[in-house]
Amino acid sequence: MEQNNEGGNLAQVQHVVLILSGKGGVGKSTLTTELALALRHAGKKVGILDVDLCGPSIPRMLSVGKPEVHQCDSGWVPVYTDAQKSLALMSIGFLLEDPDEAVVWRGPKKTALIGQFVSDVAWGELDVLLVDTPPGTSDEHLAVLENLKKQHKVDGAILITTPQAVSTGDVRREITFCKKTGLRILGIVENMSGFVCPHCSECSNIFSKGGGEELAKLTGSVYLGKRHTYFCIFLCVFFNFYGHSGVCIGRTAFPAMRPLQKSGHSYILHFAELM
């Protein structure tokens, strides 16, 4: 798949990152949401493109309901979560008349809509566009990657797994997909790696532990951390894009991370300035 950086509606987007996993239910949409909020908290303009056509979760994750999607001269106007327009969203969830309606489409129709999402959404200026994908390695993944590469350089993918073997086996196939399509793997995240009791702070490894780290070692990928060490994930991606030229320290201030603060852990944020 050849890359063509002529731009179109992605001309003012600085970075594009895919969130992938061969397995469903491992937390792709959750991590996409948290990463977007962390980047916005750092002063970046962020977009989320939800290409999970059969199970769109992003509208619910960010509590935006079902706003109307409007048209402009450049195409569809994304849905913004705030008045400053620092977080932009596009999802099929905004286009369905009934939220309980099933999307029963064959591959060509899915491919056509994904092509529209990539080319016809007027994102404007964004520092990062995060693409939340469905599980697997099929039509949707090929369609989004091929359409993105026609307009923009894709920086890479973050792969999400849970610790148990049934999940890491599927994610190993996703790694093969990335290698076959020339998609750079930014790293692997192990989600649901432990349940921390809110009363005694003891960690119970309900889904085993260490599977994500072992998978990273076996495949030569970067291990970005466990889910409860989330800021390792954010820092690795952030510094990879923006360098290490500045540091600001503070505590988490966005809703998605407040439950982690309540569990007794102290989280320190390190934010780098734009190069």
Nearest Cα residue to 174 out of 62, 22, 14? 22
Q: Yes or no: say if 193 and 229 are a contact pair by the CB < 8 Å rule.
A: no
Residue 198 CA, chain-centre distance (Å), reads: 27
The pLDDT value given to residue 274: 25
The pLDDT value given to residue 6: 57
Cα–Cα distance measured from residue 118 to residue 110, given in angstroms and rounded to the nearest whole number: 12
The pLDDT value given to residue 216: 86
Report the relative pairing of strands 185-190 and 156-161 from DSSP bridges. parallel
End-to-end CA distance of the chain: 30
The pLDDT value given to residue 244: 40
Cα–Cα distance measured from residue 107 to residue 274, given in angstroms and rounded to the nearest whole number: 40
The reported pTM is 0.79
The pLDDT value given to residue 235: 46
Kindly state the DSSP code that residue 172 receives in the 8-state scheme. H
Residue type for 22, please?
A: G
Cα–Cα distance measured from residue 222 to residue 29, given in angstroms and rounded to the nearest whole number: 21
The pLDDT value given to residue 222: 85
DSSP class per residue in 96-143? -SSTT------HHHHHHHHHHHHHHB---SEEEEEEE--SSSSHHHHH
Q: Yes or no: say if 249 and 268 are a contact pair by the CB < 8 Å rule.
A: yes
H, E, C per residue of 64-94: CCCCCCCEECCEECCEECCCCCCEEEEEHHH
In this structure, the number of other CB atoms found within 10 A of the CB of residue 183 comes to: 22
CATH of 8-244, one of 3.40.50.2000, 3.90.230.10, 3.90.1150.10, 3.40.50.300: 3.40.50.300
The pLDDT value given to residue 112: 94
Q: Yes or no: say if 80 and 14 are a contact pair by the CB < 8 Å rule.
A: no
Q: Is the dihedral of CA 145, 150, 152, 153 positive or negative?
A: positive
The pLDDT value given to residue 97: 82
In this structure, the number of other CB atoms found within 10 A of the CB of residue 267 comes to: 14
Q: Yes or no: say if 228 and 196 are a contact pair by the CB < 8 Å rule.
A: yes
The pLDDT value given to residue 227: 64
The pLDDT value given to residue 265: 28
Q: Which residues of the chain have pLDDT under 50?
A: 1-5, 229-236, 239, 243-275
Taking the domains of the chain in order of start, what are their residue ranges?
Answer: 8-244
